[in-house]
Structure 1
Amino acid sequence: MSTDERLITYAEALNEAIREEMEKNEDIILLGEDIGPYGGVFNVTKGLFEKYGADRVIDTPISEAGFAGAGIGAAMTGLKPIVEFMWIDFTFVALDQILNQGAKMAYMSGGQTTVPIVFRTQGGGGRGNAAQHSQSLETIFAHVPGMKVVLPSSPYDAKGLLKTAIRENCPVMFIENKLLYNTKGHVPEEEYTIPFGQANVLIEGEDITIVSISRSVHLSLEAAETLKAEGIHAEVIDLRTLVPLDIESIKDSVKKTNRLIIVHEAAKSFGWGAELAAQISEEVFDYLDAPVYRIGAKDTPIPYNMKLEKEVLPKVEDIVDDIKKSLYMKEGSR
């Protein structure tokens, strides 16, 4: 089997990225809960404690504020920490450290210090983990200047983007998705990285543009396949990163298709989809033949009951329905 045909899981791709970068750079350390001998709740750090030891793979107490602050301090004094938050919901405990200290320190010091740190975490629903373990909070981190925000959708992107994040000289919020860890994809053994701010056009089409990130990309691809059977050809774009945002690729696509639908698992109201819709409306309004549609989770805490959770989170049918509304829009259809 050639290396470009090698299939590994999303979690394995992340593990490889960390392992390879730690091998090259002794300044890289890991901090987080259960990341040592246990290997992380999703096995992303499996085997790293045995290879690199307790000095570089540091199991922390259950104190997100404490180990986030320790990671920021370590980054300011010459190390390259990768700090894992077991669930993105738990970053709320450390928002002062992440957003008031880590994201702002280079600016507030006039560039005298940098904070080369990666905050790894995972978000999203779909497992019946209830309201405090199922949120999609990427907009919060994208809203505060000073931090890059990354959301890979495939094993290939997970490895290439994480390597880029580790080599950055600024804070990066690297957000995975709990339902993607066991998905498999082609990942070459050869060295590669993926630049930030370069969206990936997964399917080319001329009827409508679908823009998404993370697991919602998979829903968008499924919707595009469903519509293809009806003669509707959607262009599907995976943003990969929210900060930096590749707005040019989206504008180019909208100029071709004249329609845009944005899909994210975060709550629809005040989500990053609204920001993207505003930018497109401001910059390429004359190319739009229909309003920009946004699909997101309903504005309610994620239910524990999985039948209710399914109703709250976006579905393929929602994407298909809104695309048809956009294409065959009638007065009052919204």
Structure 2
Amino acid sequence: MLLLIQYTLIFASVLILVALGGCFSEHSGVINIGLEGIMVMGALGGALMLKFVPATVPAIVMIVLVIAAAVLVGMLYSLLLAVAAINFKADQTLAGTALNLLGTAAAVVIVRAINMAESKDNVSSTITYIESKKAFLVRIGGFEFNWFMLIAAVALVVSYIVLYKTKFGLRLRACGEHPQAADSVGINVYKMRYAGVLISGMLGGLGGIVYITAGVSEWKFENGVAGFGFLALAVMIFGQWKPVNIGFAALLFGLFRALSNVYTGFPALVALKLPSTIYNMLPYIISLVVLAFTSGKSRAPKAEGIPYDKGQR
């Protein structure tokens, strides 16, 4: 049972961070379908830091450096979406899809190039971080606490405060609901949308490194992040673009994802004799079912996905 809780919390942490990223972007008026690609690039930045920083450095230094690398790479990669969607008014869905396709491909090329530079015989897209990963883990009895769990909880609280208790949050949400009205009172819609996309890149990149370090000590970048970016979008929609609801939705989806890791420890589930692939599919099946029954009542920001034209009223 402890193992189920452990995996549920770590997978929920990933979903919370990435879904919150999508939440900020869409509240600003930009649909971020590219969260999958942003996760991969953030994971790449963090994984390279885990690979090259000596495992002997103090744990707090390792944590700060890895988080900084994942956040920075995620934000830089999200700039591609911001420029395309805000400056060039490109179709946001197509731009996000392009980010997803490019992210995994670019990560594979970069990792293979690094591995080949170290050894001509090593052409894999795998990065190993067995010792470095230990900086994030604290053993509490039979429970393995991961500092990312705390970071996700803090991000949830901070996101709620920022969106609903600050002037910045009010302005951001105004740009996603009625940008022309926001502009009429002196709010720079372009800057606010850039801020929303960059925050989504920051949180998406952080979610990427959390995902690839959850339960494993190496990652093959050809696998991307197994659709977790899209699952985070489902969590965001199910949570109605509200941080508190997103937290509860992430726990639900995280539970079903965790079952694929620990179902062998439950005799009742083993007795069903279901293939392991069924448990791997569960969170995605559940997301389809949940969205089929709830998406009709969901209320997205009114101006999301609509390029802002300053001259339009």
After TM superposition, the score normalised by the length of structure 2 is: 0.28
State the structure with bigger RCO (CA 8 A, min sep 6), 1 or 2. Answer: 2
Whose strand fraction is larger, Structure 1's or Structure 2's?
Answer: 1
Whose helix fraction is larger, Structure 1's or Structure 2's?
Answer: 2
After TM superposition, the score normalised by the length of structure 1 is: 0.26
